[in-house]
Structure 1
Amino acid sequence: MYLMKDVTRDGNPVLRKVAQKVTFPISKKNKQLADDMMEYLINSQDAQLGQKYGLRAGVGLAAPQVGESVAMASVLIPNLDEPDKIDLQMTLINPVIISESVQVTALGEGEGCLSVDTEVPGYVPRHNKITIRYDDFDGVSQTMKLRGYPAIVCQHEIDHLNGHLFYDKINKKDPFTIDDKALIIE
């Protein structure tokens, strides 16, 4: 089971590398990695387990965040209106964004990251709608359309696979500047 001590922190070069594509059939090591990343997310969102093990709650975890430079990320995204309901629970293998909306969105409270221990205030502009192409565990290519919060989370995780951190996207001169037509999710 991953604990916070296992999460790679900002400054480690693996977070700035482009992750290697996963090959198929998927190795036992990569299958275990996916299982362990999802287990962290499930445990971190459980208030009792999170407190017991000192876990910061997370909705996504990319392989580079646990020191593995492979193109895989797990997401466990609760519904913002009904926190007991899950909007998306899956592991994305070799994900790429193949289309995106012009509409910009951002979280009103900004973004956080398990690999970044300090708060970095500011809007992180994202696309409100995206289409992702990814591989499933059998190596079969799939596509998925996302919007709003799930789209933001998946863009954050895909950024990790490309060596980017959320604060790279914040306007350095004025962190709370964003397109006038942007949709701010509170």
Structure 2
Amino acid sequence: MLTMEDIIRDGHPTLRNVAAEVSMPPSEEDKQILASLLEYVINSQNVEMAEQYSLRAGIGLAAPQINVAKRMIAVHLTDEKGILYSYALFNPKIISHSVEKAYLQSGEGCLSVDEAFPGYVLRHARITVKGINLDGEEVKLRLKGLASICFQHEIDHLNGVMFYDYIDKKDPYKLIEDAIAIER
């Protein structure tokens, strides 16, 4: 079981590297790593488990965050409409996105970043993602709202990009016209 001790922190070089594609079909080791990423985010949202194992709550985790430079992400969240998104994906790719932007009103955080970075992170309001699940099936997801933002955040980890890279240093709360504010 993964714990916060397994998650590398901001400044570690793996977080700034582009992760390698996972060979298909995935090895048993890669399947286990991907399953453990999903297990962490699920456990971290369980109050008793989080308390018992000192887990910081998260809605997504990428393999580079546990110092595995491979293209794997896990997301477990319930969106603003009560829809559960629980996915563990190999080689996820954003295959299309909206021009329209969106942001979390409360800002973004990251399990690999201990300090707060106040400001808005402008992202695409809607995206379509393709990836391969643990059963080896191709998954295609059309996402908006919190799910869209979370998937973009995790896929950024696979490309060595951190959420705070998007925050305007001079004006952290600068918005673009018509950007959609998403409450968390």
- Give the TM-score band, short-chain normalised: over 0.9
Structure 1 residue 66 corresponds to structure 2 residue 66: yes
In 2, are the aligned partners of 1:95 and 1:158 still within 8 Å (CA)?
yes
- Deviation per residue, 1:41-85 (Å, 9 max, x gap): 111000111011111000000000001000000000123354xxx
Percent identical pairs in the alignment equals 47
In 1, are the aligned partners of 2:34 and 2:89 still within 8 Å (CA)?
no
Which residue of structure 1 lines up, in the alignment, with residue 17 of structure 2?
A: 17
* Number of aligned residues: 183
2:150 to 141, 148, 153: 153
Which residue of structure 1 lines up, in the alignment, with residue 168 of structure 2?
A: 171
Following superposition, which runs of at least 4 residues in structure 1 exceed 4 angstroms of deviation?
none
What is the rounded CA distance, in whole Å, between the counterparts of 2:73 and 2:175 in structure 1? 27
What is the rounded CA distance, in whole Å, between the counterparts of 2:98 and 2:73 in structure 1? 22
Q: Secondary structure at the match of 1:36?
A: helix
Q: Secondary structure at the match of 1:168?
A: helix
Q: Secondary structure at the match of 2:30?
A: helix
Q: Secondary structure at the match of 1:14?
A: helix
Structure 1 residue 101 corresponds to structure 2 residue 98: yes
Q: Secondary structure at the match of 2:64?
A: helix
List gaps (5 residues or longer) in structure 2: none
List gaps (5 residues or longer) in structure 1: none
Note the aligned Cα RMSD (angstroms): 1.2
Structure 1 residue 124 corresponds to structure 2 residue 126: no
What is the rounded CA distance, in whole Å, between the counterparts of 1:92 and 1:122 in structure 2? 29
Which residue of structure 2 lines up, in the alignment, with residue 185 of structure 1?
A: 182
What is the rounded CA distance, in whole Å, between the counterparts of 1:79 and 1:171 in structure 2? 26
1:107-118 equivalences under 5 Å are: 107-118=104-115
Which residue of structure 2 lines up, in the alignment, with residue 52 of structure 1?
A: 52
Report how far residue 138 of structure 1 moved. Answer: 5.0
1:25-44 equivalences under 5 Å are: 25-44=25-44
What is the rounded CA distance, in whole Å, between the counterparts of 1:37 and 1:136 in structure 2? 13
Cα distance, 1:24–1:138 mapped onto 2, change above 3 Å: farther
What is the rounded CA distance, in whole Å, between the counterparts of 1:106 and 1:33 in structure 2? 30
In 1, are the aligned partners of 2:73 and 2:90 still within 8 Å (CA)?
yes
TM-score by length of 1: 0.94
